[in-house]
A and B are shown apart, each in its own frame.
Chain A
Amino acid sequence: MENLKATLKEQIIERLNLEDISVSDINDDTALFGEGLGLDSIDALELIVLMENDYGIELANPEEGKEIFSTINSMADYISKNKK
C-alpha cells in the first residue's frame, strides 16, 4: 500500500505536469482538488486515463472520480480494491 501511494504521487506529478511540486509536498491526505493541490477538471479527466492505462480500472463517468480522486489515500484504496 505504501509503495502504491508513493508510485501514485510520482505518476500524478509526471502526468499532470506539476513541476513546482515534489513527492514530499503531497501528504496521503492532502486534498488533490480545490484548496490542496489545486487540480482542475481537465486534471480529473487525465486521472481517469491514468487509472485505465496503468491500473486497468475503467470509470463509467467522471462523477465517480470526485470521491475516488479526493486524496492519495482514497485513490490507493480504490485501486487496491479494483485493480485487475
Chain B
Amino acid sequence: MITYIGSENIISPLGESATENFERVRINETGISLSKGIGVGKEDLYLSKIKSIPENNKFNVLLAKCLDSIISDSSANLINLKETIVIVSTTKADIQENLDTPIQHSIEKLKKDYNLQNTPLVISNACISGVLAMNTAHNYIQANIYKHAFVIGADVISDFVLFGFQSLYAVSNEPCQPFDKERKGITLGEGAAGVLISSDSSAFKKGPLEFVEGTSSNDANHISGPSRTGEGLYRSIQKTLELANIPSADIDFISAHGTGTLFNDEMESIAFERLNMNNIPLNSLKGYFGHTLGAAGLIETAISMQSIRNNTLVQSLGFQNEGTSGGINILTENLNKEVNTILKTASGFGGCNASAIIREI
C-alpha cells in the first residue's frame, strides 16, 4: 500500500502558503531580520519572526491557519471522519501564555472548533518532532488504523526559548550560517507547516507524492550535545533506506537539519560521509526560516516537496566556505534538475534523530 503525501503548506515571515514560500526562497529571500533589544541582556538579535499575526494567541492562530489550508487543498469533509487523525508537532506550544498547561487548551480548542472525531495526537520530541509526526502518520496508515492524517507543526518565538538558547551560548549574533566555516550558532524562527498524509490518492486536490518510509534513532550519547560520530543520524538514515528498499545512490537531494551550531553541523557531515552520501546535493533551510523547532521538519519537508514539483533545488543560504570535516555537497546556488527522491533529516536535544524519504509517483 502506498502512503501519499501532499497539500503541503507553510506559514512563515515569507508567506502563508507553500507556493508563496517557495517562490521567495527560490529568489533566495530570507525571513530573518534584526530585532532590537530582545536578548536576555537587551541586546539586538536576528530572528525569523512573523509580524503579520498578532502576538496574542499566535500559536493557536498558526495551528488553525495551517489546518484550514490543508482542508481547502483536500477533498471535502475528510477532517471530520472517524478514520482521520490530526497529529500536532510542537516543542513549547504557547509557553509564553500558558506555562503550566502548555498544550491542552490548544488541543481542546482544535477538537471543538473542527468537530474532530479523534483527539489530536501531540508529538513533543524536540527538534525532530515534525519529521517524527510524518513518520507516525505513515505508520498509522500502513497499519490501517487511520486512513488520513492531517500533520501540522508550529512553534512561536518566546523569551523562554530565546533566553534558553542564549544560556547555552548557542545563538548567533549574525543570521545563521549552516555548515559554513564561520558559523556561530542558531537564529531562532517561528512558523507553522502542515501536510496531508493519506492512503487515498484522491484525497488531494493536487497530485500527491509518495511518503516512502521514515524512522528515528537515538545517539545514546549526551542529552544536549550531538554524538561526534553522528551515530543516531547514521543509524536512522540507514534504517530508513533499508525499510524503503532504496539504495542511497537513488537519493537526489538531502534536506539536512543544519542548525548552524558548530557541533550539530559537524556531526551531520560525518553521518552523511559515513553513509557515502557526500556527493548528493544538500541544503539547510535555516538561513531562510531560522530554527523553527517543532515546525522545522515540516517547513523543510514542504519546501523539499516543492523542489520535487518544480525540479529546482534551492541554495543553502548563509553557506560560503566549507567548515565541516565530513565532505558534503552543499548547494551554493539554485540547481535546476530532475528531482524524484528526497531525504529529510532532523536531529535534536535528547540525542534524537529522524529521517524520512519522499518521492515522486
Residues of B within 8 A of A49 (CB): 167
Closest A residue to B41 by beta carbon equals A58
**Distance between A67 CB and nearest chain B CB, rounded to angstroms:** 17
Please tell me if the beta carbons of B224 and A42 are within 8 angstroms of each other in the complex.
yes
CA distance A40 to B224 in the complex (A): 11
In the bound complex, how far is the Cα of B206 from the Cα of A18, in angstroms?
A: 58
Q: Which residue of A lies closest to B223 (CB)?
A: A42
User: B114 at interface (Cβ–Cβ under 8 A)?
Assistant: no
Majority-rule SS of B interface residues: loop
- Cβ of B169 under 8 Å from chain A: yes
Pick from B169, B222, B224: contact of A61, CB under 8 Å? B169
**Residue B102 is within 8 A (CB to CB) of chain A in the complex:** no
CA distance A40 to B168 in the complex (A): 13
- Interface presence of A17 (CB below 8 A): no
Q: Is B207 an interface residue (CB 8 A)?
A: no
Which residues of the partner chain B approach A41 to less than 8 Å between Cβ atoms?
Answer: 224-225
Query: In the assembled complex, how far is the CB of residue A53 from the closest CB belonging to chain B, in whole angstroms?
Result: 13
Could you tell me the distance in whole angstroms from the C-beta of A40 to the nearest C-beta in chain B?
8
Q: Does A45 contact B (CB under 8 A)?
A: yes
Q: Does A36 contact B (CB under 8 A)?
A: no
Q: B222 to chain A: which residues have CB within 8 Å? A: 40
- A42: which B residues are within 8 A, CB to CB? 168, 224
Q: Is A56 an interface residue (CB 8 A)?
A: no
> Interface of chain A, helix or strand or loop or mixed?
helix
Output the least CB separation between A46 and chain B (Å): 9
Closest Cβ neighbor of B263 among chain A residues: A41
Q: Which of B215-233 contact A (CB under 8 A)?
A: 222, 224-225
Measured CA separation A30–B167 after assembly (Å): 27
Interface string of A53-67 (1 = CB under 8 A from B): 000000001100000
Q: In the complex, what residues of B have CB within 8 A of residue A61's CB?
A: 169
* Assembled-state Cα–Cα distance A61/B262 (Å): 15
Determine how close the nearest CB of chain A comes to the CB of B225; give it in whole angstroms.
6
| In the bound complex, CA of A45 to CA of B167 (Å) | 8
Asked if A62 and B169 make an inter-chain contact with CB atoms under 8 angstroms apart, the answer reads yes
Chain A residues near B169 (CB, 8 Å)? 45, 61-62
Bound-state Cα–Cα, A42 to B222, Å: 11
A40 cross-chain contacts in B, Cβ below 8 A: 222
CB distance from B151 to the nearest CB of A (A): 33
**Which residues does chain B contribute within 8 Å of A45, judged by CB atoms?**
167-169
CA distance A45 to B224 in the complex (A): 12
Residues in B137-187 with C-beta less than 8 Å from chain A: 167-169
Whole-angstrom distance from the CB of A50 to the nearest CB of chain B? 13
A72 to chain B minimum Cβ distance, whole angstroms, is 24
Residues of A within 8 A of B167 (CB): 45, 49
User: In chain B, what residue has the closest Cβ to A44?
Assistant: B169
Q: Give chain A residues whose Cβ lies under 8 Å from the Cβ of B225.
A: 41
Cα-based distance from A62 to B225 in the complex (angstroms): 15
- What B residues does A62 contact at CB under 8 A? 169
Q: Mark A2-44, 1 if CB is under 8 A from B, else 0.
A: 0000000000000000000000000000000000000011100
Give B168's nearest chain A residue, CB to CB.
Answer: A45
CB distance from B6 to the nearest CB of A (A): 42
Interface centre among A45, A49, A61, A62, by most chain B C-beta atoms within 10 angstroms, is A45
Among residues of B, the one whose C-beta sits closest to the C-beta of A58 is B41
Which residue of chain B lies nearest to A48 when distances are taken between CB atoms in the complex?
A: B169
Distance A61 CA – B171 CA, assembled complex (angstroms): 12
Minimum Cβ distance to chain B for residue A61 (Å): 7
A42 to B263, CA, bound (A): 14
CB distance from A34 to the nearest CB of B (A): 15
Q: Mark B198-226, 1 if CB is under 8 A from A, else 0.
A: 00000000000000000000000010110
11 contacts between A and B (CB under 8 A): A40-B222, A41-B224, A41-B225, A42-B168, A42-B224, A45-B167, A45-B168, A45-B169, A49-B167, A61-B169, A62-B169
Residue positions of B touching A, CB distance < 8 A: 167-169, 222, 224-225
Query: 8 other contacts beyond A40-B222, A42-B224, A49-B167, with CB at 8 A cut-off?
Result: A41-B224, A41-B225, A42-B168, A45-B167, A45-B168, A45-B169, A61-B169, A62-B169
